[in-house]
Structure 1
């Protein structure tokens, strides 16, 4: 004799599958508007409800459009979680990508409040400037170098956004646009398209110090994907198409640091021509 279906169980399963389907959707315009409002007001927020990269990138597109009204149009791209320690911290199998804003850059030596964001951080980074769209056909770091017009020392000033950073995942990090908010741009380093300069980008020692000279962080250029130019190749292979003039943030060479009121920080790129530096002051 055939058993009658358990209608209560079926109803529960239907509701469960429906809830999972809803959770997998791109966050609504209203949800992303609320998140953008929290970011602009420097208010810690709940993480966006995304469970995969498709939804995360959809959420990112909405957020960039909203924040771009205040911070300027998209002006390039950033790679995040480009070092092994960063990937391990967020249980990521690889990097993530975000968008840079036109008006986010501050001048070398800039001063700003230590509480410049909901969850402010600072990190040693590097900005590459794309010379031409032929960079999209590059297959090696040497070929990337051939299509750069400038390289800048860069202190990124990201916002972790969410009230509890321990809840961040690669998907939610992507949805919050990898924390892009501001950055301090140093003087351009002349680009040499030779093997010595290419090797120097990997071998350089990136050192963060405070006003007293105390070392806060130290990592080689190779900490970013073996060579920071590999960030361009990773971004290109993961949906980015570059154009002339685009900025590229390669990712952090060391840990995310928490700014303190009254603190000054300097990043030195020892081994690049002239050992360039970039600095920031927190009020």
Structure 2
């Protein structure tokens, strides 16, 4: 039932440019230029605007980002765990878009100063295998329509000045802070109840490579009760916009635990205890 409720809720997010108070072109151009130059970038809308405003601003931002970062390769559900929602004062996820050159290979070295307020977090990518996923209402139905999952150490960036007041529409407008992310190889998950339980029960563990100390650890169910519920939510948002997930699309399920500040000199490993082969990915920050 939770999957169906998420899909229905997402359907209420249908927006059109005609309904929204879209930011002007100059405002969006300034935001994108500041973001690219790693200068504090004032969001293209202010707190208190409508979610429709946020979606319109995001569409304008993403259209410009594709010129430098390549085409859309997937989507992200942000703020999907209680710690992340609490940090930003929201009670539901937010929707973002992933572009090709945001995705990095395992072991990537990332310069923290290349973005304003760069962060890292445990995440997970679901790779879509069949368009039937767009009608899924349960994790089991989603699992039947995916190729598998991929390790994903997301590297978002808040990009805005520290004094910025964030709410759901503002976070949506800045494309949920999508900046970069380290993605690993495809992991095939058993279909049916076994795979559904595996994805609910595995632990995403972030650790300091130098010391082995655990930075955070949280189960898959920390994401909306089950990580595949994030796929249902994303599909619902897209359906409300007249779009759909297609084979090969990547869906970032969002925060499996807290956000962490990116610090130069830190190397981290994200390990998935309980998934086949205990996969992991690493990244270093400079």
For residues 165 and 92 of structure 1, the distance between their equivalents in structure 2, rounded to whole angstroms, comes to 18
Are 1:266 and 1:279, in contact at CA under 8 Å, matched by a contact in 2?
yes
Structure 1 residue runs of 5 or longer lacking an equivalent are 1-23
Aligned to 1:96: 94
Aligned to 2:252: 249
Give the superposition deviation at 1:234: 1.0
Are 1:83 and 1:223, in contact at CA under 8 Å, matched by a contact in 2?
yes
For residues 85 and 159 of structure 1, the distance between their equivalents in structure 2, rounded to whole angstroms, comes to 17
Are 2:156 and 2:179, in contact at CA under 8 Å, matched by a contact in 1?
yes
Pick aligned residue for 1:110 from 89, 108, 121? 108
Give the superposition deviation at 1:224: 0.3
For residues 267 and 91 of structure 2, the distance between their equivalents in structure 1, rounded to whole angstroms, comes to 34
Pick aligned residue for 2:159 from 158, 161, 169? 161
Give the superposition deviation at 1:70: 0.6
For residues 80 and 255 of structure 1, the distance between their equivalents in structure 2, rounded to whole angstroms, comes to 12
Aligned to 1:235: 234
Give the superposition deviation at 1:127: 0.6
Partner SS state of residue 97, structure 1: strand
Partner SS state of residue 163, structure 1: coil
For residues 229 and 165 of structure 1, the distance between their equivalents in structure 2, rounded to whole angstroms, comes to 34
Give the superposition deviation at 1:115: 2.0
For residues 195 and 42 of structure 1, the distance between their equivalents in structure 2, rounded to whole angstroms, comes to 45
Partner SS state of residue 263, structure 2: coil
Q: TM-score, normalised by structure 1?
A: 0.89
Partner SS state of residue 198, structure 2: helix
Higher relative contact order (CA 8 A, sep 6+): 2
Aligned to 1:28: 24
For residues 80 and 263 of structure 2, the distance between their equivalents in structure 1, rounded to whole angstroms, comes to 25
Name the stretch that deviates more: 111-120 or 125-134.
111-120
Give the superposition deviation at 1:165: 6.1
Partner SS state of residue 124, structure 2: strand
- The aligned length equals 260
Is 1:265 the counterpart of 2:268 in the alignment?
Answer: yes
Is 1:136 the counterpart of 2:134 in the alignment?
Answer: yes
Partner SS state of residue 267, structure 1: strand
Are 1:105 and 1:182, in contact at CA under 8 Å, matched by a contact in 2?
yes
Give the superposition deviation at 1:258: 1.0
Pick aligned residue for 1:62 from 60, 63, 66? 60
Whichever of the two has the greater Rg, that structure is 1
